[in-house]
Each structure stands twice: as structure tokens, then as C-alpha cells.
Amino acid sequence: MNMLLDLQKKILPDLVDVLGQRFRILRFIRLMQPIGRRTLSSNLEMSERVLRSEVTFLKEQGLVEFASSGMTLTDDGHNLLGQLEVVMKEVFQTRTMEEELQKKLGISEVHIVPGDSDEYSWVQKEMGRACVNLIKQKMSFKDNIIAVTGGTSIAAVAEMLVPDSDLKETLFVPARGGLGEQVENQANTICATMARKAMGSYRLLHVPDQLSKEAYESLISEPSVQDILRLIRSVTMVIHGIGEASTMAERRNTSQEVMEKLEQKKAVAEAFGYYFDQSGDIIHKVLTIGLQLEDLQNISDIIAVAGGKSKAEAIEAYMKQSPSQVLVTDEGAARAILEK
């Protein structure tokens, strides 16, 4: 197959370009359907004249349907796109990038989706879809408990979930308390959304993410909090994001003293309330109720979801000493890490 692709690139380079363009169109329609031609043209940064020709061809092939509400994929379109995703990893050498990044970060699995989520918001949804596929692959047959953190990347995973019999008996729990950010990006909300979409069940953790020592000691002794913490520490899978240190510190309304400490020690990444420098060393920890890094050592499946060129440094720093075995990212972040 690789030899055939190499020959096509040399003899018919236009064929690869057309294949890539039609792949992008099909993928975006799947994400946003039903979608109008003008909206699709704008998001793909393609002229309406060129797009009209392409979607007409796809319709004639039975891959796309037109309706007053917009364009949607047919069943054949969905099936073909699934097959194309495997082929396009070879065409765009994504498979090679995955292997190189896996080796550089020293983890067991890397999954890269095309694009850069810093530039295109729909790439984050593609990461969400890739994560959902991984969740289904790694599920055990019974007693599945999945812990999720907050953030836009994990919210995208929740958005891409659909009712599935394999997930029906799954229990979803938040990995930590709320940050006080937009409610749709909080762990509790994402947890409930995942349970609803997967037809599973959920438990919530009603505590702030950042606590004073007095508040922490008071809450941690509450029977209801101890009960949910025991459940959280018994999870079979964790889905979490990776944040940029400065961004996360601002979202937490961190004190000026701590902000100066993070800047002085050159913090670049944050996850689970821990801040890391470029070497992956912990330089600050927020007093929080929820999963701690040491708890992750006993969890069989841990999936990190983070992308965008701007997060490359944070991803690399966290992965250096993290227990996460799987990374779902995008091409923007992957290239930035590998080219460093």
C-alpha cells in the first residue's frame, strides 16, 4: 500500500490533493451536519464555486444528501469516511508521526487527528471522536467506572458520545471539583452529559476545585465526600485534559504570590491541580479534592486529550513523568513537539 501511495504521489500528485480535499469535506459534514454550503465553504476556507463542484460530485456518488436544512452524509458516506480515515493516515504520513511522537514521549499510544485546534475549532471535535473510539476499544465487559476532568477538550469528547449498548452500564464520575469556570466545561457537567449520551449513570462531586487548608480538612471528613472519593479512586478509566500553566492559574484566580512562583520556576503545564516545568517536575500543587497523581498509578487506562500548537510545550512537559499511557492530540501540537 505504501508503494502504491508513493507512486501516486509522483505520477498523479493532483490525485492526492483531490483525495485530501474531499476527505476534509466529508469529515466536516459529518461533524456539523446538517450544514449549508455557505457555512461549509467558510469553515473550510474554500470558494463556493469549487465547493459546489465537489459536493455535487459527492452527491452523485451517493455519499452526501441535500435537503432544505443542509447537507448530510448518507450511510455509504459514513462507511467510506471510516475507511478513508485509515488510508489518510498513510497519505499524510500521520502514522509515522504517531510512532515518532510515541517514542519521543515514551508512552504506549498516540493518536493524531489532522489539523490544528488552535486554528479550527472543529479539530477539537475530531479529537473528541477519536477519544470516544478509544473508550469503546478499551472498555472492560462489566463494572466500568470512568472519571473525567473539565475543560473544552473533554467537553468535546462528551459532545461526540452517542447512545451505545457497550456503554450502557458505565458509571461516570468527575475526577475533581469545579473550577468556577463556564458550567458546560466543568467536570460535573461533562460527567452528567457523558452519562446521558451513553445511557449510563453518574455521581457528582459538589466541591470547589481549589480550597483553603481549613475548608479542605472540613470537607474531606464529610461522609458523603468520602463516599464519592472512594468511588473516584476505584475507577477503571480516566479521561483528562492538559492545560497551559498560566492559563489554568488565571482560571483559578490564583494569588499573586503563587503566580510569581509559577513564573519564577517556569511552569508550562497543569493537570489534576499539579503544575509542571519543562522537565516534567512538579513545582506547585493546588490543594484539591479528587484524583491525585499517585492515584493514577493503580488505574489501568488513562487517556489524555489535548491539542493545538500552543499546547505543545505543556503536553510534552506533562507526558515526561505522567502515568498517562495514551495521548489523543492533533497535527498542530504533534508537529510542534517533533520539530522542537
Domain with CATH 3.40.50.1360 in the chain: 94-339
Residue 153 pLDDT grade (very low, low, confident, very high; cuts 50, 70, 90): very high
Query: Would you say domain 94-339 falls under CATH 3.40.50.1360?
Result: yes
- Which pLDDT value is given to residue 253? 78
Query: Looking at residues 66-83, what average pLDDT do you find?
Result: 91
Q: What angle do CA 258, 252, 159 make, to 5 degrees?
A: 145
Mean pLDDT (the chain) is 87
- Which pLDDT value is given to residue 1? 53
Residue 95 has pLDDT above 70, yes or no: yes
Query: Looking at residues 40-47, what average pLDDT do you find?
Result: 84
- Which pLDDT value is given to residue 130? 93
Residues 194 and 148: beta-carbon distance below 8 Å = yes
Residue 304 pLDDT grade (very low, low, confident, very high; cuts 50, 70, 90): very high
Poorest-confidence range of 56-65, 81-90, 103-112, 279-288? 81-90
Poorest-confidence range of 117-126, 191-200, 246-255? 246-255
Angle between helices 312-320 and 331-339 (to 10 degrees): 70
Residues 313 and 247: beta-carbon distance below 8 Å = no
Residue 96 has pLDDT above 90, yes or no: no
Residue 235 has pLDDT above 90, yes or no: yes
Type and span of the H or E element at 155: helix 152-160
The domain made up of 2-90 has a fold known as Arc Repressor Mutant, subunit A (1.10.10)
3 state DSSP class of 210: coil
Residue 323 has pLDDT above 80, yes or no: no
Domain with CATH 1.10.10.10 in the chain: 2-90
Sign of CA dihedral 113, 161, 189, 322: negative
Torsion of CA 261, 262, 264, 267, to 10 degrees: 160
pLDDT tens digit sequence for 8-32: 666 666 777 788 888 889 988 998 8
Query: Looking at residues 311-340, what average pLDDT do you find?
Result: 90
